[in-house]
């Protein structure tokens, strides 16, 4: 089957993956949209995560900004797909738990030079910047990378 922009857009609209990921998945499934959606779902590509690629000196400011936005359950710091740190964020524990860990995050990120921050949001709230549909009302995650330089 032919892989068209319409098929790629359809996969992106339903899963929130990038054009590159949608095209690659369609190629693996001979252009079959349904099989592609099933594959991406099985690979957890449809989980909604919000990811930010940051440099070491910006990680603390970015984490503080995300916490101030509210409705954040967890913050994960990743490097090359490996989770370096996972911080649970509770409204009452922000000062006691998160702030001391921010210094450790800064050190971790400084060692690895470039990391990804993954934010798990509560309540299934969809952000304006993503096309992903609300699927898991209790712990939805928006997925799209942002490079900050």
Name, in order, each residue with C-beta under 8 angstroms of 15's C-beta and a sequence gap of 6 or more: 22, 37, 40, 41, 45, 46, 132
- The pLDDT assigned to 25 comes to 92
Max avg pLDDT among 3-7, 63-67, 86-90, 118-122: 3-7
The mean pLDDT of the chain is 66
Tell me whether strands 114-121 and 72-79 are parallel, antiparallel or unpaired: antiparallel
Dig out the tokens for 13 from the structure. 């609209």
Tell me the CA end-to-end span of the chain in Å, nearest whole number.
Answer: 40
> pLDDT tier at 78 (50, 70, 90 boundaries)?
confident
- For residue range 27-48, list pLDDT tens digits in order: 999 999 999 988 888 876 444 4
Of 4-8, 13-17, 94-98, the least confident: 94-98
C-alpha neighbours within 13 Å on the C-beta side of residue 69: 18
- The pLDDT assigned to 23 comes to 93
Q: State the Cα angle at 86 between 117 and 140, rounded to 5°.
A: 70
Higher pLDDT pick, 10 / 105: 10
- The pLDDT assigned to 129 comes to 26
- For residue range 85-140, list pLDDT tens digits in order: 777 766 434 554 555 566 566 656 655 566 777 777 654 443 322 222 333 333 44
Q: Is the pLDDT of residue 58 over 70?
A: no
- The pLDDT assigned to 135 comes to 35
Give the separation between CA 115 and CA 119, rounded to whole angstroms. 13
Give the separation between CA 7 and CA 5, rounded to whole angstroms. 5
Helix (H, G, I), strand (E, B) or coil at 54: strand
């Amino acid at each position: 089957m032919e892989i068209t922009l319409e098929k790629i857009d359809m996969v992106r609209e339903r899963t929130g993956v990038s054009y590159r990921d949608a095209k690659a998945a369609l190629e693996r499934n001979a252009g079959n949209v349904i099989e592609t959606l099933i594959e991406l779902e099985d690979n957890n590509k449809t989980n909604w995560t919000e990811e930010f690629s940051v440099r070491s000196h910006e990680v603390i400011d970015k984490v503080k900004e995300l916490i101030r936005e509210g409705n954040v359950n967890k913050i994960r710091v990743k490097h090359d797909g490996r989770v370096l740190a996972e911080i649970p964020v509770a409204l009452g524990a922000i000062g006691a738990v998160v702030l001391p860990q921010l210094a450790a995050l800064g050190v971790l990120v400084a060692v690895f030079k470039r990391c990804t921050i993954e934010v798990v949001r509560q309540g299934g709230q969809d952000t304006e910047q993503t096309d992903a549909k609300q699927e898991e009302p209790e712990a939805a995650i928006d997925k799209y990378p942002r490079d900050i330089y």
